[in-house]
Structure 1
Amino acid sequence: MDAQEIRKSAALEKKHWWYAERRGLVRRLVRPLPAGRALDVGCGGGGNTGVLRDLGWDVTGIEYSPVAAGIARGRGLKVVRGDAQCLPVADASMDLVMSTDAWEHIEDDKAVARETARVLRPGGRALVAVPCSMALWSGHDVALGHLRRYERADLAALLEGAGLKVVDISSWNVLLRPVARLRRKNNDSESEMEEVHPVLNAGLRAAVATERFLPVQRLPGISLVARAVKR
């Protein structure tokens, strides 16, 4: 992702429906866990890093982009510049490693999975969110610097191959997948991350929030969310 796209995403992060609901998802999944030491790998502007901090975690963001790292630091977060393929962290030192929408940007995602497993203590948790299904590939992915979108079986194999035991892989943003697919059909080169009218923004947030109460987590969505544990 280029610097302009990073700054645009950071500016949208506080109110945009997608970022807001993703923070809510992270909060719901992490809240039941006892707080400890955490990494947010590929933390971007730090929206989800802040969620972990507010839940009582001793969290450090790892970010490759100097622009994104600077934005996150400006928000009062602890951030280290580093490569997800070679984390600057000791073996078995973390209770939680989280990566939200980062792995799809990295050429060697197997190395990222191995590094995630390496730095987790036995019994430590991984939380990974990635874009789902190459059927949705479009100019949006190109604009954001994605190298791939993931199928459920491929993500499970990636995590298991690194020595992590998959607890669950669920779909997220299921109800809006038909809308995304229709919109992306004719999208050659543009990111969808843009300012949304407040009324539409509220409606989209409500659509995603509704999924919490519906049995749709096994249906195809826009994202996949994996939870795994270090063996």
Structure 2
Amino acid sequence: MKSVFLIALIVALGSCQGAEVTEPLSAQGRSISSVIVDGLEAFRGVLQNGSPKYGLPVMAPMQLAKRSFEINSGEFSGTFGVENFELQGLDEYEIITMNVDVFRSRLTFNINFASVNFTTDYDVDMGSGYRIKRNGGAFFALEDLNIQGRISYSLGVFTSQLRVKDVLIYPSVGNVNSQIENLSKYRIFNRKLNEIIEEFVTLTVNENTDFVATWVSEQATPICNELIGDRTLSDIIAIITGGN
């Protein structure tokens, strides 16, 4: 990998001659960044059409005919079911920034989704001292969803093997739109309950970014390294670009 040899060259030359190789190394970072951006732009097609080769279904929109979940959390138990579920917006993203810093071995990014939303019919049957049965239609949207993050990595000096050190994700949401029917039989109470859901989700996302970043890093870092295996950074770029 070129960046590994350039880093080694900077160390060998010392600070007096480091400026001569700084620009090529920065250009390498810009090149990798542009490859990743191109790959993410091409990934829209994967979301829209799926990838049978890798067992990926169509996810834009993502549809579920019917799904039921059993819930048992001590005081609450019952079933929650959805039907005609459709998730939209995963392919409607804008890449605000995408930068590879080869000096610090990190990738920083900022991606914005105009609206990630779903519609569904739902059915809830819960018991908690008294029985709660609700069913109806639902629409729920996260609007102006922004994902900022940083992926730190390391490269083996002799093998260029890629290892992910941490994955930090900082989400924020501009607006939450909840339109869930039949939370209450009274229309005014139903609207108020939806407003409570909107406020709760907004505060949960926007005021717990550090918690989300830590949790995602703990979960995603080992998964990323497992998926990478023995591949080098060049291998990963080749996969993103289809071998080009």
Give the TM-score taking structure 2 as reference length.
0.26
Bigger RCO of structures 1 and 2 (CA < 8 A, at least 6 apart): 1
Indicate the structure with greater strand content.
Answer: 2
Larger radius of gyration: 2
TM-score scaled to structure 1, two decimals?
Answer: 0.27
